[in-house]
Amino acid sequence: MGSFASGFEYQPDFITPAEEHSLLAAIGRLPFTNAHYREYTAKRRIVVFESGAPQFLVPLRDRVAEWLRIPGQDFRHALVSEYRSGTGVGWHRDMPDFAVIAGVSLAAPARMRFRPYPPREGPSRERLGIELEPRSAYVMRNDVRWQWQHSIAPTGALRYSITFRTLLER
């Protein structure tokens, strides 16, 4: 995708097919519920871990942290999302409580799109995208975290995403 803004990195084949299979087996036992945002109920289903990663995600969390050169325990929030076929996520920025956002994609690819924030109108509006392949990882921090919005286009098959977030230092 190139460097459209500082702070986005993408790593294909971040985990092996065997690691993905093991993660999907553990994820299959999670108690997913529909995501709620104010009065809106999303099609995406989630499981939130607000006080860090559960034990089965700690090795993945630590590998992501090593890749990003930050302590694993700095990831204070974990989220597992299920995207059934046809499910996406609209334009947004993650909650301002979080600084570094790292994700790992599982099972099926997804198109992640970016646009400047606040969005620009008209024919000159800028939009970019990248295909998040299964077993890949990405990070959003710095400019891309604060000056861009992102969305996930509706998926063509069942997909899972594991997201780790650090808290913003106040």
Interval 50-77: pLDDT, tens: 988 999 999 999 999 999 999 999 999 9
pLDDT at 125: 65
- The whole model's pTM is what? 0.92
Q: Which residues, given as ranges, of the chain have pLDDT below 50?
A: 1-3
Q: Is residue 158 part of a domain?
A: yes
Number of domains in the chain: 1
Q: Is 46 contained in some domain?
A: yes
Residue 153 belongs to domain with CATH number: 2.60.120.590
Which residues form the domain of 96?
Answer: 8-167
The pair phi, psi for residue 83, each rounded to 5°, is -115, 105
Q: Give the span between the Cα atoms of 79 and 47, in whole angstroms.
A: 6
- Residue 111: in which H helix or E strand, if any? strand 110-116
H or E element, residue 58: helix 58-68
19, 55, 85, 102 from 59: Cα distances, Å? 10, 8, 28, 14
Answer whether residue 113 is part of any domain.
yes
* CB contact set of 83 (below 8 Å; sequence gap of 6+): 44, 108, 110, 152, 155, 158, 159, 160, 161
Is 1 among the domain residues? no
Asked if the structure places residue 2 within a domain, the reply is: no
3 is a domain residue: no
pLDDT at 1: 44
pLDDT for residue 169: 84
Instruction: Note whether 165 and 81 are within 8 A (CB).
Output: no
Q: Are 87 and 156 in contact (CB under 8 A)?
A: no
CA–CA distance, 95 with 75 (Å, rounded to integer)? 15
Closest CA to 77 of 115, 46, 107, 33: 46
